[in-house]
Amino acid sequence: MDFHLPQWITVPNSVTLFTLAIVVTCAVFFAIIKRINFIQRVNKIPGMFGGFTFLGNATAFLVTPEGCVQPQFLFIRISIFSFIELFIRVMGYVYIMRSCGPVLRIWAGPFPNILLFTPEAFEVVLSNNTLIDKSREYGFLHPWLNTGLLTSTGSKWFNRRKLLTPTFHFKILGDFVQVFNEQSQILIEKINAAVETQKDGFDIYPFITRCTLDIICESAMGCKIEAQSHSDGEYPQAVHSMCRILNVRASQPMMQSNLLFHLSSYGAEQRKNLKILHGFTDKVIQSRKLERKQNSLQKNVIDVGTNQDDNFIPAKKRLAFLDLLIDASNDGILLTDADIREEVDTFMFEGHDTSTAAISWSLLLIGSHPHVQELVCEELDRVFGNSDRHATINDLNELKYLECCIKEALRLYPSVPIMGRQLSQDTIIHGYTVPANTTVLLFTYILHRDSKHFPDPELFQPGRFFEENSRGRHPYVYVPFSAGPRNCIGQKFAIMEEKVILSTILRNFHVKALDQRENIVLLNEVVLRPRDGIRLCLTSKKYKQ
């Protein structure tokens, strides 16, 4: 039987196919060689061997709870295994293995992760103006935030950072203090109602969550969503739902596949949420622009009118972050409505959960240490006396010890316990060359427990942050807001907000923590939060005006 090639395979075509096969074979060969070389370079760094399998080192952490190392310093109890607890197991691994060296390596599937936990390593990465790319996990935020300040890189990030920095000037931040005070007073009303019905104590976390959401929405967009009064509102529900979905994506390997995620119920829920969130922000932007245009026309009429009352002074409208962005776009800087939306949405996301966590952890720690609470209250009495007036900028500057308490709470429970960066170039860290395109994970949670700089690191000691006790401390050993060129642009806003809320609560209530720290299960769900909330018993104080 004769074998005949198809008619389309002529001699020229045969040569073409043969050439193509050679090219493909060579490309695959060189890709394999490049991959092997990359793995060999990464594996020179101490850690678990891996990189040649799809799962990498993941199976090493998928063990029964009884087999998991649980160092006492983590203050964690693991009950039922979930992928969320993978974070805890990695933390335990780093704690046990850090004696092997200041740089460790694990493989998350085919992706290498270099684990860093020393101030020297943090300085190498965070102080470098070229190492500003966030790790691939930040891509989960793109559907909501697009490429705003948090997720952008390169020239776009540099230009946006330069544009937005003046909007966080101290004088501008002072205008937001009134928002902090007004929403804090609503919080007190809600807590008072809860105290009346739950005298034995309750979870404070959802109360703080709704308060910070109200604050950030009014500060960012200049509108009230009244989450504290209407927690079932469409926008607050969408924000909470999106944060929960982001937690799922970050913690469940299957959901990190875009295809599987979009086919899942979580994908459908996210699309529904994004329609609400983006629709709301777009509506606010257009409404704010129209309002400003009408006010401008009204001002022109007043200016040129001949019969206007000379004593007429238009009421000053409180500016929001959105107004500052609109002003920038009107000053010749090219910012589309989409650009404005992604920055407003970024501000909403970054300023919501992080502040909630910081305030809640502060209340837990202050409520667990009566002598600390007594010192805080003495400071509040010195500043406010028996008055129940709102806090001012000058008052906040006087609350030195309260600020030390906040800083110490952020040391023990940093809102972002792990930061991820994707290296854009080969980088030498502690003598090891970490190849480009490698993810480095900066373990803030462990860095803040460096006993060399923080003796008895598990103890809550606000005095660590007295000026005289902070001298000589490595500048990168305490980084709750990151550090270097890509540090948190809103950290002053956050500290001011936290001071107002905490001072308002502690002026009105005596706080007692109902749970011991060692019994609280920690979850790293975008921010570090307690799995079961923060249970407090609050006793009302009666101030005379």
Answer whether 347's CB lies under 8 Å from 284's CB.
no
pLDDT at 372: 98
205-247 tens-digit pLDDT: 999 999 999 999 999 888 888 889 887 788 888 888 998 898 7
Sign of CA dihedral 380, 386, 391, 395: negative
* Least confident range of 63-67, 180-184, 445-449, 525-529: 63-67
pLDDT at 351: 85
Report percent pLDDT > 70 for the chain.
83
26-38 tens-digit pLDDT: 888 888 888 888 8
Report percent pLDDT > 90 for the chain.
53
* Least confident range of 263-277, 316-330, 423-437, 498-512: 316-330
pLDDT at 296: 65
Number of domains in the chain: 1
Residue 370 lies in a domain: yes
Residue 507 lies in a domain: yes
pLDDT at 78: 34
Residue 200 lies in a domain: yes
Instruction: Identify the domain containing residue 477 by its residue range.
Output: 130-297+318-427+445-540
User: Confidence band (pLDDT; 50, 70, 90) for 6?
Assistant: low
Angle between helix 234-251 and helix 265-304 axes, rounded to 10 deg: 140
Answer whether 222's CB lies under 8 Å from 320's CB.
yes
The separation between CA 385 and the C-alpha centre of its own chain, rounded to angstroms, equals: 35
Task: Tell me the whole-structure pTM to 2 decimals.
Answer: 0.86
Residue 58 lies in a domain: no
DSSP SS3 for 421: strand
User: Confidence band (pLDDT; 50, 70, 90) for 75?
Assistant: very low
pLDDT at 77: 36
pLDDT at 86: 60
The CATH number linked to 162 is 1.10.630.10
Written as six digits, the tokens of 314 are: 């238009």
Distance CA 349, CA 354 (A): 9
Distance CA 438, CA 115 (A): 11
* Least confident range of 56-65, 96-105, 413-422, 429-438: 56-65
Exposed/middle/buried for residue 301 (C-beta within 10 Å: 0-12, 13-18, 19+): exposed
Residue 309 lies in a domain: no
Q: Tell me whether residue 26 is annotated as binding.
A: no
pLDDT at 308: 42
DSSP SS3 for 378: helix
Residue 312 lies in a domain: no
Residue 94 lies in a domain: no
pLDDT at 310: 43
Residue 174 has pLDDT above 90, yes or no: no
Chain mean pLDDT for the chain: 84
Stronger pLDDT, 490 or 110, i.e. the higher one: 490
Nearest to 177 by CA among 403, 400, 493, 503: 493
* Least confident range of 36-40, 137-141, 176-180, 371-375: 36-40
Residue 276 has pLDDT above 60, yes or no: yes
pLDDT at 63: 47
Written as six digits, the tokens of 123 are: 């300085």
473-495 tens-digit pLDDT: 999 999 999 999 999 999 999 99
Written as six digits, the tokens of 169 are: 């000037």
Residue 411 lies in a domain: yes
DSSP SS3 for 440: strand
- 3-state SS of 485-509 is HHCCCCHHHHHHHHHHHHHHHHHHE
